[in-house]
Chain A
Amino acid sequence: MQQLNEMITWVKSKESADFQLDEEALKTDFLEYQSAYGNISLKVLSILGGLLATASFMGFLVLTGFYDSDRLVTISGFVFIVASVLLNNKFDHLLLDTTTIATHVIGYVLIGLGFDELHMNERYLIGTFMIISLLVMAFSENYMIALISVLVFSGSLAAFFEIYDLENYVIILFLLFGGSWTWVSAHEGLIISGSRKLNKLFQPVHLGLFIAFTSVVFFLVMDGKFSFQIKNLWVYALAAWAGIIYLISPLFGKNGLTDIKSKICIVILAVLLLIPSLYAPYIAGVTFMLLLTYKYGFRTQFALSVAFLVYAFSQYYYDLNMTLLVKSGILFGSGALLLAARLIFNKQLTDHE
């Protein structure tokens, strides 16, 4: 609360005298955010309750033989989705989130099952999912529903590539998801000041795009392990490096890190990361994620990117086709180089600051 008041005074001092602020609504919203979903126990409780309720309801449906009639299943799917969005909008009470979200997910599942029973072509299902998710996003402001919609949309898009065996064109997904995630992150101010709806949709959409991009990078990690083999891996590395350069170029400008030692450190780091990413572009992808989440202060996503980086490096060295001796040499050498750079850097830090 204290932080809220501090912010209010700060903003008022910066803007002109006629800056309008609905303080009461702001304070109510803030208290609601703090007391309700600000607490992780409540979040977990709602999710668990929702999942269990969904599971038992699905069990009930299967046992009644409702599952046997394909038309009924499909139509119910649509009904569930529409009903859940309407209920969610009308009541706008955090408690009903449990049931409405569970119903929403059941709706998608039922449509999928129904289409499968009716032996309809998969592309119709994908198209339907994409249209439904867009429509749902147009009509709902709820966090979870928006997140589900983004995931369904991006998942359907990815599925489209899968059923037509377009593995070599996944670069499109890489650029699409990566590009939109970057654009959304960079233009947060523009989006949230646009309209109330855009303001509320920002966080779930941003998270959804992060998940979508992470999945594509993970797909790159899995290259060669399953039945597919991606051609032209260097395109991914190129795209990721373009993104990385875009992100860190402000650091080299006037307002950035002007001292020469920092710049050398950055270059050493970049070169050390560049070499493995020629063989494994997912390293460049993860580095890009790391830098972007750090730059724009998305702390949870940053933590996840760090975890992914650890995994990516482990996987890279595991897959490397050299003897353990050579690998140990490479690791020890690059490690020593990095620590040396750090020592120089640290000395410089204490010199200047």
Chain B
Amino acid sequence: MQARNLKRQIIHLFSRHSHWSAAGVEAAFKEQNVYADKKDWKLFLNIFLTGLGASFMIAGIVFFFAFNWDHLHKFAKLGIIQLLMVCLAVWILLFKPGELVRNIVLTVLSCLTGVLFAVFGQIYQTGANAYDFFLGWTLFIALWALISDFPPLWLIFLVLVHMTLYLYTEQVSDRWNYAGLINIQVVIDLLVLLMVEWLFKKRLREVKTGWFVYLTGLYVIVILTSAIIYGIYSRIHMTEWMISIGLSILTYTAGVFHGFRTRNVFYLSAVGFSLIVILTALLIKPFEDPVGIFFIAGLFLVLTTTFLIRQIMKLNKEWHAAAQ
């Protein structure tokens, strides 16, 4: 996708700086494979037929079960799900398909675990909290998430962990407050990130962990920012706030170092923007008069964002011009 977009952009730039004829540009689009050719159309048909065919068939089966669900005996309901899970597990153990297939099946199994627990809860009406459901689900797929080299599964697992923690504070106990919950989440996420970046890098060879690291890192930065601003404005739960500040200093320095080491502007942008938001919040807080401060805040935002963008662009040029 990137290559095609780049080619198109290059052709556009070319045409801008020369007297290239329309016919010449058209020919360039065709021959540089920006437009779809025969091979592309065959690929399209292939993927379209398979994708649509498979999804329709699966949807058909699901609808069939949905139609008959209420009439099924409770053992049948549980049995179907368990049978499906066992079959899938046996398949990947015995037949050892390719790595991608194995990982996708593991992910499907993890989702089915959740479905199984949900159906169980629906049949037996145990009156348990959503917290118990998520806790059970999280614990039971922990092992699979650990052994798989599959970022999407890690993401699902991490989301479940966060849901469990959140529901704990909602439904079970008041021990943690808003900032405390965030601190715990941050610690867990940072540990996961460390594991992914350091330990697993050795095992994972070609696995693309990039987007997972970005997403988790971004989440950490966002919730830390929110915790700090919450502390600035509400002035309660001071201990947790101190911890949040400590964690932020740790995370942001680590993020910036990592960004410089890997020559990636993402961390710098995120950390930079978070700092700008925090500073703006600090700026607005002490003032009683709401009118003037909005204007100043707006101005401050524009100036600092401009400054941040300029610095990052400079760095980006340095790093990527050097590569050329």
Contact = CB atoms under 8 A, between A and B. Distances in A.
A142 B226 CA distance: 35
A351 interface: no
B60 A60 contact: no
A127 interface: no
A11 B7 CA distance: 13
B36 to A, nearest CB: 5
A203 B291 CA distance: 40
Interface in A189-219: 189-190, 192-194, 196, 199-200, 202-203
A39 B320 CA distance: 11
Interface in B44-62: 44-46, 48-50, 52-62
Interface residues of A, number: 94
B265 interface: yes
B29 interface: yes
A163 interface: no
B59 A317 contact: yes
B260 interface: no
Given A189-B22, A189-B25, A327-B63, A334 B313 contact: no
Given A98-B302, A299-B4, A335-B54, A35 B313 contact: yes
Nearest to B9: A33
A195 B227 CA distance: 52
A273 to B, nearest CB: 9
Contacts of B1: 299-300, 303
Interface in A330-347: 330-339, 341-342, 345-346
Nearest to A336: B57
Nearest to A56: B298
Contacts of B21: 193
Interface in A24-78: 25-26, 29-31, 33-36, 39, 41-42, 44-46, 48-50, 52-57, 59-60, 63-64
B122 interface: no
B219 interface: no
Interface in A241-280: 251, 255-257, 262, 265-266, 269
Interface stretch (B11-19, B111-119, B185-193): B11-19
A349 B39 CA distance: 11
Nearest to B65: A328
B295 A57 contact: yes
A262 B266 contact: no
B296 to A, nearest CB: 9
B56 A189 contact: no
B53 to A, nearest CB: 3
Contacts of A327: 60, 63
Given A329-B60, A332-B57, A262 B45 contact: yes
A138 interface: no
Which of A11, A64, A190 gathers the greatest number of chain B CB atoms within 10 Å?
Answer: A11
Interface stretch (B161-169, B228-236, B303-311): B303-311
Interface in A294-353: 294-297, 299-300, 303, 317, 323-325, 327-339, 341-342, 345-346, 349
A194 B25 CA distance: 11
Interface string B53-82: 111111111111011000000000000000
A49 B301 contact: yes
B18 A56 contact: no
Contacts of B34: 296-297
Contact of B269 (A45, A64, A188, A332): A45
Given A15-B24, A266-B45, A338-B53, A30 B10 contact: yes
Contacts of B48: 269
A330 B67 CA distance: 14
Interface residues of B, number: 88
Contact of A189 (B26, B312, B316, B321): B26
Contacts of A251: 41
A128 interface: no
Contacts of B292: 60
Contacts of B297: 56
Interface string B254-281: 0000000000011001101100110010
Interface stretch (A1-9, A80-88, A118-126, A227-235): A1-9
Contacts of B305: 45-46, 48-50, 52-53, 98
Contacts of A339: 49-50, 53-54, 57
Contacts of A265: 45, 49
B17 A60 contact: no
A335 B273 contact: no
30 contacts: A3-B3, A7-B11, A11-B24, A19-B20, A21-B17, A31-B321, A42-B312, A45-B309, A49-B305, A49-B308, A56-B297, A59-B298, A60-B292, A63-B290, A189-B28, A189-B29, A193-B25, A255-B38, A297-B36, A303-B1, A328-B67, A329-B64, A331-B56, A332-B56, A332-B61, A333-B60, A335-B54, A335-B58, A339-B49, A342-B46
Interface of A: 1, 3-4, 7, 10-11, 14-15, 19-23, 25-26, 29-31, 33-36, 39, 41-42, 44-46, 48-50, 52-57, 59-60, 63-64, 94-96, 98-99, 188-190, 192-194, 196, 199-200, 202-203, 251, 255-257, 262, 265-266, 269, 294-297, 299-300, 303, 317, 323-325, 327-339, 341-342, 345-346, 349
The 7 closest A-B pairs by CB, nearest first: A332-B60, A335-B56, A49-B305, A338-B53, A335-B57, A328-B63, A331-B60
Given A29-B16, A53-B301, 20 more contacts: A7-B10, A14-B24, A14-B27, A31-B321, A49-B306, A52-B280, A52-B305, A56-B297, A64-B291, A192-B15, A256-B38, A295-B36, A325-B64, A328-B60, A328-B62, A329-B60, A331-B60, A336-B57, A341-B53, A346-B46
